[in-house]
């Protein structure tokens, strides 16, 4: 087993994870020329000057570092002379810092990197949505050194078995993302985040993360969707290893060091007792907002000229526990039953397998649950009517 884990730029985190089979750290500055998969306000801040020190610590442990260039949209800046100069300058900076790998969503950036910075290994992002053999082959022919599969591919077992054959190499799966299965918002959410983390965003990285909230609300409206999310339990890692997949990526760039440690420990040891949501992104983080997070929220979201700041204050009601408890011990036979079904081609309202699992594994604190559901509904209604602004 190899684990690819996020950094939150806490130097102590590297030592804290030394006893686990971590092969690579990955991360990104809050905002850079490219942008990426998380809005700037949501991830820990790090100064460019501290990047090299952090990477030296990673390399001192014999590990590699992967910098995310996983933007899904650059607003066509990459196809301008000015944009090319900016790209050259930033990749030169990453090279001097000692970055080993970069992750991309754009096939153009993959080809550009191979031509201009061949010293970097390039990973195809989960945001490239590689969920078929044809897509996998396309990206390998383009030059991708490693491929992180689309998160929905985690439950397409026939596809995974094919990728486990000797002719396919360098496959990674993302283990702990609790997004909606077949999420209808995913592409627009990725574009929103990409613009909200690009240093040259005309809104200065201001972002009302509508798609995140809409996704979370749909899960609350039908808790069966917590089961349908394509996460992998720590106890089920061996199932994927038996199919020939040995590299697993942990999501959690927004997490505190304690939370990252809890998640990594669970997957490294292949077991976790308690509420499975406690190791899934975005539910795992339990740490209250500290001064740094509050500063980021204020820096990027306090924009009276863009939206009513009182609306953001009301959003505090959606933070914290959901009232949903997903008992991991009750899921011990879930994967066995799922593997006997052709899940990608079934209608959920006819199959009802996940619904039956939800009845036995999900407990709901009704008061917290109803309060949270109402808070999401109120915020979304104000966004969809325009009164939020």
pLDDT value of residue 17: 98
Q: What does the pLDDT look like over 365-377, one tens digit per residue?
A: 999 999 999 999 9
User: Any bridge partners for residue 147, and if so which?
Assistant: 124, 171
| C-beta separation of 376 from 217 below 8 A | yes
| C-beta separation of 158 from 345 below 8 A | no
Peptide bond into 169 cis (omega under 30): no
pLDDT value of residue 294: 84
Q: What does the pLDDT look like over 133-190, one tens digit per residue?
A: 999 999 999 999 999 999 999 999 999 999 987 778 899 999 999 999 999 999 999 9
Q: What does the pLDDT look like over 243-269, one tens digit per residue?
A: 999 999 999 999 999 999 999 999 999
What's the DSSP call for residue 289?
P
What would the two tokens of residue 122 be? 């390039």
Helix (H, G, I), strand (E, B) or coil at 380: helix
Q: Which helix (H) or strand (E) holds 122?
A: strand 121-124
Helix (H, G, I), strand (E, B) or coil at 36: coil
What is the dihedral sign for C-alpha 58, 59, 64, 70? positive
Cα–Cα nearest to 357, from 175, 243, 229: 229
Measured CA to CA, the distance from residue 180 to residue 60 in angstroms comes to 38
pTM as predicted: 0.95
Q: Where are the domains of the chain?
A: 2-286
Q: Between the CA of residue 317 and those of 184, 237, 371, 373, 378, what are the distances in Å?
A: 25, 35, 8, 10, 10
CATH architecture of 2-286: Alpha-Beta Barrel (3.20)
Helix (H, G, I), strand (E, B) or coil at 275: strand
């Amino acid at each position: 087993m190899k684990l690819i884990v996020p950094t939150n730029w806490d130097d102590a985190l590297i030592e804290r994870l030394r006893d686990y089979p971590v092969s690579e750290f990955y991360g990104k500055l809050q905002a850079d020329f490219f942008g990426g998969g998380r809005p700037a306000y949501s991830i820990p801040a790090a100064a460019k000057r501290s990047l090299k020190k952090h990477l030296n610590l990673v390399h001192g442990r014999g590990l590699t570092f992967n910098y995310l260039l996983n933007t899904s949209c650059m607003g066509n800046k990459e196809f301008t002379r000015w944009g090319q100069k900016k790209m050259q300058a930033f990749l030169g900076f990453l090279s001097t810092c000692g970055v080993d790998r970069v992750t991309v969503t754009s096939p153009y950036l993959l080809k550009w990197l191979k031509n201009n910075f061949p010293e970097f290994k390039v990973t195809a992002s989960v945001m490239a949505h590689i969920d078929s053999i044809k897509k996998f082959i396309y990206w390998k022919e383009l030059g991708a050194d490693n491929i992180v599969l689309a998160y929905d591919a985690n439950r397409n077992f026939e596809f995974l078995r094919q990728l486990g054959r000797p002719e396919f190499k360098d496959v990674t799966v993302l283990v702990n993302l609790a997004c909606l299965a077949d999420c209808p918002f995913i592409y627009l959410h990725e574009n929103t985040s990409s613009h909200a983390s690009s240093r040259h965003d005309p809104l200065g990285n201001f972002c009302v993360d509508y798609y995140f909230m809409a996704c979370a609300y749909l899960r609350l409206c039908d808790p069966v969707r917590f089961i349908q999310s394509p996460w992998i339990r720590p106890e089920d890692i061996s199932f994927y290893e038996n199919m020939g997949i040995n590299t697993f990526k942990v999501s959690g760039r927004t997490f505190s060091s304690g939370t990252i440690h809890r998640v990594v420990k669970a997957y490294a040891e292949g077991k976790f007792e308690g509420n499975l949501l406690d190791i899934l992104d975005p539910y795992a983080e339990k740490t209250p907002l500290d001064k740094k997070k509050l500063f980021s929220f204020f820096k990027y979201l306090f924009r009276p000229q863009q939206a009513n700041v009182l609306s953001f204050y009301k959003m505090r009601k959606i933070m914290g526990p959901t009232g949903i408890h997903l008992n991991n011990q009750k899921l011990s036979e879930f994967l066995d039953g799922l593997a006997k079904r052709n899940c990608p081609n079934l209608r959920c309202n006819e199959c009802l397998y996940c619904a039956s699992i939800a009845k036995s594994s999900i407990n709901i604190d009704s008061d917290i649950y109803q309060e949270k559901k109402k808070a999401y509904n109120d915020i979304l209604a104000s966004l969809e009517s325009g009164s939020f602004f």
